[in-house]
Amino acid sequence: MPKSKKQHLTHLLTEYGMILVLILLGIFFSLVTLTEQRPSGKKAGLQIASIVKKRFDKDAHILIASRNLAIDKNFYDALSGSLTSAGFKHLHSVQGTPRDARAKLIELENQKIKLQVILGNQTTADWLVFEDIKLNFPQLGAPTRIGPSPYKWPNFLKKDNLLNITNQIAVIAIIAVGMTVVIICGGIDLSVGSLIAFSAVLCCLFIQNTAGGLDANAGGMILACIAAIIITGLVGSFTGSMITAFSIPPFIVTLGVMMMASGTAYLMSGGESVYRVPDSFVWLGREASLFGIPNAVFLMMLLYSIAHIMMSRTQLGRYIYAVGGNAEAARLAGVPVKWIQLFAYTLSGLLAGLGGVVMASQLKSGAPTYGQMYELYVIAAVVVGGTSLSGGEGKIFGTLIGAFIIAVIQNGMNLMNIESYTQKVILGMVILIAVLLDKLKQKKFQTS
Amino acid sequence: MKIFKSMTQASAVILSCSTLLLMTSGCDNTSQTAGSNNAETTEPSKNKGTIGVSLLTLKNPFFKVIGDNITAEAAKQGYKTIVLSADEDVAKQSNQVTDFIVSKVSAIVLSPCESRSIVPVIQEANAAGIPVITVDIPCNEPGVDILTQVATDNYGGGKEAGKAMIEALGEAGGKVAILHYRQAESCRLRVKGFKEVIEAHNVSASARIDMVMELESGAAKDLGYKAAEDALQAHGDLRGVFAINDPAALGARAALEKAGKQDQVLIVGFDGQPEGKQAIKDGKIFADPIQFPDKMGIEVVKSIVAHSKGEDVEPEQLIPTSLYRQEDGLKDSSLQ
């Protein structure tokens, strides 16, 4: 039956509404975080060099200020290289902190040098030490300060920031895969937040006590991570078997497991953070080894792809939808309902364990305070992504969109200087809008 | 057919997701040209930059005052500020710090939620050349470079609390309970200072002050209440309570009132939050060494300015407390 135009529109709105929301949010935050940016590194160095060549004599005394950083080294090399080859004779430089700059100014003053111009990058040009030179160092003359020319670009749309957002959401997004499966299956898992802490503490304890502590090697750390993930997965299986064997509502079982996992994390760690782990432990959470994509983000993308294929193209996926849609009908049709449910909770536990390991790696320690309230963010990501809390319906990639919406809102508001209370209000509103869309979708099914 | 449909849906999602990510590759170049057309050199702007602040929580008015004063002082000096609450969640705080690093703030001010787990992001800020300052809660872990740590002189404050307790109990002396919060380094210092003064007093005093109990108060009203009740059960002749902050002190006061022993037992608190000051004025708490979050906020900004001017900045700045008694409360126009 061909659909009418109006039906097409509703279809689009309900299926892809959240992408629209995400794009609109992106545009919105880009507009409001439009700020003056200054080029940095080599680019800034060449830009300033061309200005200096136009405006100053070859025997002008020039001070180049930069910090002891790689990016500043590029700036300095480009700038001084370009000026030297253009024939400028009197180049002075300082590399370090404002304090070093002050020492350099004193030194130049003692040498009775008249400084014509001070060149700096986006940070050093603004150092206050250069502000009142006329007052503090009258012997130096009145040098002009030149920094890179500003241009307008949204803070939100900077490459670093977008990578930052994806890295920040990785933990929630990874756990949300498991939650999506559980919710599609007709259940709920409140224990994931506590399982983050449980797994993070467990993983760091394994590294600290069995894998050799600060001297642990990569193999030992990987084994510790895998062990933590598997044990957390077993906790998930325990949850699943309580639910399936005794038909206790998932809400209650996972509430109990949530408290037990959190308490156990506190017991195991003695209430403190476990931090004797090697520096290289941050590889998973903080580093990027493939095309500049952070490892955690890569892992997240991989998991989403696998989960998408599992849910849309395998028998297992269809069984999960069937159990969530109508468990009784599924059972009569020969679907092993209890096994499917057990699988869903085990998967959720495994992924919560993985999330905990990623978080431990991001923070280079495991503390029992991690992950508080995360179950709510995870559930929010799933619901915003269009998965129905009544089960049987939803999409894995919808959840990714949902997670991104939450991350973009939080990041955008941090950049906009909106305090966290307002952030909560707005986040709550977005979740309500998502549920509203969900209702709209159900209504469409009823009428058509 | 169905597979095809789901694949198109999936690819649409991936596409829109990754557009956000991949839009970035060309961004620097396109916008660059706008700047270089402008042949005139750029004098550094009037706005000296932004200070990013991530505080432990904004639920506690103490931190709100720190944040407000940083903002006010920064505005005087020509800086903008972003003040965020980490809600005691170290993962959230570390996200806030990475957001600050990305927006290239001039300085980052932190009261760490967890001094060990915050180390990796402080190192990231160090690597980006952004000065980091702690306020109220220090971070003394190895491997981090912190410009200065601004905090209350908790040890000195604890000593003042000890003096106040001696003043409260007078010649008679008697039994004293301490409502502790051991997790916090600041509270351990307070109790240390308190004990030292009391022990020194006991050497020469005619009547001893006995510190009979040290109970966990959770630094909160409800647990302070329970702890004080337990203390009264164990020692009916208790004469004094030292609580490591105002909420614990007020909780203890409620327990004393319930037991009808508010005249027998005197309380020395700590902090000087409005509610605590009011209680001192009303005679419910004997005295508080009060902290000065406003001064802390101002010192933070002064340190940032001094650093940028190339001046020396002390690695640790302790703000002394001052003892606040009932007569100060009566003069205090901010109270009812």
Range of the domain at B78: 50-146
CB-CB under 8 Å, B24 with A159: yes
- Together in a domain, B285 and B158: yes
- Note whether residue A389 is domain-resident: yes
Average pLDDT, chain A: 87
A205 pLDDT more than 60: yes
Lookup: tokens for A80: 């001084």
* Greater pLDDT, B6 or A190: A190
- Determine whether the interchain pair B307/A362 forms a contact, defined as Cβ–Cβ distance below 8 Å: no
Distance of CA A38 to the CA centre of its chain: 25
Domain boundary among A114, A149, A184: A149
Eight-state DSSP code of residue A126: G
E strand or H helix at A138: none
User: Does residue A151 carry a pLDDT above 70?
Assistant: yes
Distance from CA of B214 to the nearest CA of A (A): 19
A411, B99: Cβ pair inside 8 Å?
yes
Q: Write out residues 376-405 of A within 8 Å (CB-CB) of B.
A: 395, 397-398, 400-401, 404
Is residue B118 located within the same domain as residue B97?
yes
Q: pLDDT tens, position by position, for chain B (336 residues)?
A: 444 444 444 444 444 444 434 433 333 333 333 333 333 344 444 678 899 999 998 877 889 899 999 999 999 998 999 999 888 888 899 999 999 998 889 999 999 988 888 999 999 999 999 999 999 988 888 889 999 999 999 999 999 999 999 999 988 889 999 999 887 788 999 999 999 999 999 998 888 999 998 998 888 888 889 899 899 888 889 999 999 999 899 999 999 998 888 889 999 999 888 889 999 999 999 999 999 999 999 999 999 999 998 888 999 999 999 999 999 999 888 877
Q: Tell me the chain A residues in contact with residue B117 when contact means C-beta distances shorter than 8 Å.
A: 273, 275, 363-365, 367
The residue from A149, A168, A203 where one domain ends is A149
Give me the sign of the Cα torsion angle A43, A146, A36, B120. Answer: positive
**Average pLDDT for residues A361-382, to the nearest whole number?**
90
Q: Is A152 on the interface with B (CB under 8 A)?
A: yes
The answer to whether the Cβ–Cβ distance between A98 and B312 falls below 8 Å is no
Cβ-based contacts of A309 with chain B (< 8 Å): none
A296 and A352, same structural domain?
yes
Residue of B28, B103, B120 lying closest to A155 (CB–CB): B103
Do A172 and A282 share a structural domain?
Answer: yes
Q: Which residue has the tokens 């949300």?
A: A176
| Same structural domain, B188 and B128 | no
Token duo for residue B78: 């020509």
Q: Please indicate whether, in this complex, the C-beta atoms of A419 and B31 are within 8 angstroms of each other.
A: no
Q: Is A424 on the interface with B (CB under 8 A)?
A: no
B127 and B208 fall within a common domain:
no
Residues 246-275 of A with CB under 8 A from B: 271, 273, 275
Q: Does A28 touch chain B (CB under 8 A)?
A: no
Cβ neighbours of B119 in A, within 8 Å:
275, 364-365
Query: Does residue A369 surpass a pLDDT of 80?
Result: yes
Q: Is residue A22 in some structural domain?
A: no
Contact across the interface for A414 and B82, Cβ inside 8 Å: yes
Residue tagged 């020396």 (tokens):
B312
Cβ neighbours of B36 in A, within 8 Å = 47, 149
User: What does the pLDDT read at residue B46?
Assistant: 60
> Which ipTM score applies to this complex?
0.78
- Domain boundary (B111, B146, B181) is at B146
> What confidence score (pLDDT) does residue A12 get?
63
- Does A219 lie in the same domain as A170? yes
Name the minimum distance, in Å, from the CA of A383 to any CA of chain B.
16
Domains in chain B, number: 2
Whether B227 maps to a domain, the answer reads yes
Across A235-259, average pLDDT: 94
pLDDT the model gives residue A341: 94
Asked whether residue B223 falls in the same domain as residue B267, the answer is yes
Q: Are the Cβ atoms of A415 and B14 closer than 8 angstroms?
A: no
A73 in reach of chain B (CB within 8 A) = no
* Beta carbons of B58 and A26 less than 8 Å apart: no
- Find the residue in A nearest to B143 (Cα): A279
In a shared domain, residues A111 and A214: no
- Chain B residues touching residue A100 (CB < 8 angstroms): 310
Contact check, Cβ <8 Å, A414/B116: no
Among the ranges given (A94-108, A283-297, A424-438, B225-239), the one the predictor scored with the smallest mean pLDDT: A424-438
Residue B94 sits in the same domain as residue B177: no
Please indicate whether, in this complex, the C-beta atoms of B310 and A47 are within 8 angstroms of each other: no
DSSP designation for A114: P
The token duo for A387 is: 């998965």
What is the per-residue burial (b if ≥16 Cβ within 10 Å, else e) of B198-234? beebeeeeeeebbbbbbbebbbebebbbbbbbebbee
272-331 of A, contacting B, C-beta below 8 A:
273, 275, 282, 286, 308, 312-313
Are B211 and B256 found together in one domain? yes
Shared-domain flag, residues B166 and B252: yes
Burial A13-41 (b: 16+ CB within 10 A, else e): ebbbbbbebbeebbeebbebbeeebbbbb
Confirm whether A388 is domain-assigned.
yes
Evaluate if residue A203 carries a pLDDT over 80.
yes
Let me know whether B137 and B181 are in one domain: no
Q: Which two tokens stand for residue A121?
A: 């990058």
| Residue B297, in any domain of the structure | no
Q: Would residue A6 count as lying in a domain?
A: no
SS3 B176: strand
A15 Cβ under 8 Å from any chain B Cβ: yes
Q: DSSP string covering B185-242, please?
A: HHHHHHHHHHHHHHHHHHHH-SS-EEEEEEEE-TTSHHHHHHHHHHHHHH-TTEEEEE
The CA-to-CA distance between both ends of chain B, in Å, stands at 75
Q: Which residues of B touch A421 (CB under 8 A)?
A: 58, 85
Test B13 with A401 for CB contact under 8 angstroms.
Answer: yes
Looking at the structure, tell me whether residues A393 and A331 fall in a common domain.
yes
Backbone φ, ψ for residue B54 (5° rounding)? -125, 110
Q: At A209, which CATH number?
A: 1.10.3470
Instruction: Please name the residues between 30 and 69 in chain A that touch chain B, using a CB distance below 8 Å.
Output: 35-37, 39, 43, 47, 51, 54-55, 67-69
**Contact state of A275 with B116 under an 8 Å Cβ cutoff:** yes
Residues A107 and A193 reside in one and the same domain: no
Q: In chain B, where does DSSP find H-type helix?
A: 2-22, 27-37, 61-77, 90-102, 119-127, 154-169, 185-204, 221-234, 246-259, 274-281, 293-308, 326-331
Angle between helix axes A337-363 and B90-102 (nearest 10 degrees) is 60
Please check whether residues A198 and A293 belong to one and the same domain.
yes
Residue A36 lies in a domain: no
Q: Which residues of B touch A121 (CB under 8 A)?
A: none
Indicate whether A133 and A190 sit together in one domain: no
Is the CB of A419 less than 8 angstroms away from the CB of B83?
A: yes
Residues B277 and B179 in one domain: yes
> Is A97 close to B307, i.e. CB distance below 8 A?
yes
Q: Which of B97, B120, B146 is the last residue of a domain?
A: B146
A365/B contact by beta carbon, under 8 A:
yes
Q: What is the mean pLDDT of residues A238-252?
A: 93
Q: Among A149, A181, A202, which residue terminates a domain? A: A149
Cα separation of the two ends of chain A: 11
Q: Which range of residues forms the domain containing residue A322?
A: 159-447
Query: Given this model, what pLDDT does residue A4 score?
Result: 65
Residue B31 placed within a domain: no
Structure tokens at B287: 């005295």
Helix A192-209 and helix A374-384, axial crossing angle in degrees, nearest 10:
130
Residues A270 and A252 in one domain: yes
Same-domain check for residues A195 and A56: no
Question: How many domains does the structure of chain A reveal?
Answer: 2
- Same structural domain for residues B131 and B65? yes
pLDDT at A13: 63
| CATH number (domain holding residue A111) | 3.40.50.2300
What's the pLDDT score for residue B44? Answer: 42
* Residues A79 and A222 placed together within one structural domain of the fold: no
The predicted structure's pLDDT at residue A10: 67
**Distance, CA of B174 to CA of B231 (rounded, Å):** 14
Measured in angstroms, the CA of B3 and the nearest CA of chain A are apart by 7
Whether B98 sits inside 8 A of A164 (CB atoms) is yes
Given B146, B165, B195, the domain boundary residue is B146
Count the residues in chain B: 336
- Please give the Cα distance from B51 to B131 (Å, whole number): 10
Verify whether the Cβ–Cβ distance B10 to A397 is below 8 Å.
yes
Which residues from chain A sit within 8 angstroms of residue B310, using beta carbons? 97-103, 105, 127-129
The one-letter amino acid at A198: F
**Distance between CA atoms of A122 and A147, rounded to whole angstroms?**
6
Cβ separation A151–B32 shorter than 8 A: yes
CATH code of the domain covering residue B236: 3.40.50.2300
Would you say residue A382 lies in a domain? yes
Contacts of B20 in chain A (CB under 8 A): 22, 26, 162, 404
In angstroms, the separation between the Cα of residue A248 and the nearest Cα of chain B is: 32
- HEC profile of A245-264: HHCCCHHHHHHHHHHHHHHH
- Please indicate whether, in this complex, the C-beta atoms of B16 and A23 are within 8 angstroms of each other: yes
Residue A33 vs residues A36, B45, B78, B94, B263: alpha-carbon distances, Å:
10, 18, 20, 21, 58
Residue B65 lies in a domain: yes
Q: Please judge whether A128 and B305 are an interchain contact, meaning their C-beta atoms are less than 8 angstroms apart.
A: yes
**Pair (A135, A196) in one structural domain:** no
8 Å CB contact of B310 and A362: no
A106 domain-assigned: yes
Partner-chain contact A129 B308, CB within 8 Å? yes
Indicate if B139 and B163 belong to the same structural domain: no
